[in-house]
């Protein structure tokens, strides 16, 4: 870590408050989540806004963790995950990144495009339909995370895929949540 000053400057310029780079365990998700909540309470946000930022963080990190555990990639690919929380002009950004198999990109893109095509009323309806669907007992996921994230976001979900090699890409998801002041 030779150039901590440059890293710090870069974080400041980008409004980055917190970053975790590495494999997400449930314990790490809890600890960082608790720290974020405390920080936001200190920033005098409304309790509704704190819930939104926290919820988006939880759904994103649990999605990443569940996906990487389900796919059982080789260690290097499995451990490539990052979560960044930033603030730009009162708008909180929760960004996650993880390795994804090329073969999963199409389905994920279609789910992202579906939530992005809906307005808040449409998302509410979609969520209510989805929550009544039977749960696959083999999965820890209810398939609601992206819909919940989209319901709390202030803008459409921004995402990208960058090719790493012939097998993997890197998936980035950036979600903006308005931080309303108390």
Partner 1 sequence: MMDIPATSSTPRVRFIEEKSVLEFVGESYPENSFAFFAPVFEWLNVELPHKEGLRVEVNIAYMNSSSTKCMLDILDALTESAEEGRKISVTWFYEAGNDRALDLAEEFKEDISLPFEIVPRETGKR
Q: How far is 117 from 114, CA to CA, in rounded Å?
A: 5
CA-based R_g, the chain, Å: 17
141 binds partner 1 (CB under 8 A): yes
Task: State the nearest-atom distance from the C-beta of 147 to partner 1, in Å.
Answer: 8
Burial grade of 13 (CB within 10 A; 0-12, 13-18, 19 or more): exposed
Beta partners for residue 92, in sequence order: 87, 177
Task: State the nearest-atom distance from the C-beta of 131 to partner 1, in Å.
Answer: 5
Beta partners for residue 174, in sequence order: 95, 158
Half-sphere exposure of 80 (CA within 13 A, CB side): 15
Kindly determine how many residues on this chain lie close enough to bind partner 1 according to the rule CB under 8 A: 28
Task: State the nearest-atom distance from the C-beta of 39 to partner 1, in Å.
Answer: 16
Task: State the nearest-atom distance from the C-beta of 16 to partner 1, in Å.
Answer: 24
Q: Which one of 84, 147, 173, 177 is in contact with partner 1 (CB under 8 A)?
A: 147
92 binds partner 1 (CB under 8 A): no
Q: Which one of 7, 8, 10, 48 is in contact with partner 1 (CB under 8 A)?
A: 48
Q: How far is 83 from 68, CA to CA, in rounded Å?
A: 14
Q: Which is nearer to partner 1, 58 or 100 (by Cβ)? A: 58
Instruction: Report yes or no: 150 and 116 within 8 Å, Cβ to Cβ.
Output: yes
Q: Is the dihedral of CA 14, 16, 49, 53 positive or negative?
A: positive
Q: Which one of 36, 40, 112, 145 is in contact with partner 1 (CB under 8 A)?
A: 145
Six token digits for residue 35: 């720290």
Q: Which is nearer to partner 1, 139 or 160 (by Cβ)? A: 139
- Residue bearing tokens 């398939």: 143
Binding map of partner 1 across residues 49-88, x = CB under 8 A, - = no contact: --xx-xx--xx--x--------------------------
Six token digits for residue 90: 């009162």
**Site residues (vs partner 1, CB under 8 A):** 26, 30, 33-34, 46-48, 51-52, 54-55, 58-59, 62, 124, 128, 131-132, 135, 137, 140-142, 144-145, 147-148, 152
């Amino acid at each position: 870590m030779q150039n901590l000053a440059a890293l710090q400057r870069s974080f400041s310029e980008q409004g980055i408050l917190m970053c975790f780079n590495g494999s997400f365990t449930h314990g790490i998700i809890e600890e960082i989540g608790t720290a974020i909540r405390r920080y936001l309470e200190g920033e005098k946000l409304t309790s509704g806004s704190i819930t939104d930022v926290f919820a988006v963080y939880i759904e994103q990190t649990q999605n990443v963790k569940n996906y990487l555990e389900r796919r059982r990639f080789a260690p290097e690919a499995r451990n490539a995950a990052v979560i960044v929380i930033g603030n730009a002009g009162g708008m909180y950004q929760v960004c996650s990144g993880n390795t994804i198999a090329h073969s999963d990109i199409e389905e994920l893109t279609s789910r992202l495009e579906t939530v992005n095509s809906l307005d808040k009323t449409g998302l509410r309806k979609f969520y209510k339909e989805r929550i009544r669907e039977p749960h696959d007992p083999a999965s820890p996921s209810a398939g609601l995370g992206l819909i919940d994230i989209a319901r709390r976001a202030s803008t459409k979900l921004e995402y990208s895929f960058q090719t790493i090699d012939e097998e993997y890409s890197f998936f980035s998801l950036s979600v903006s949540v308005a931080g309303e002041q108390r």
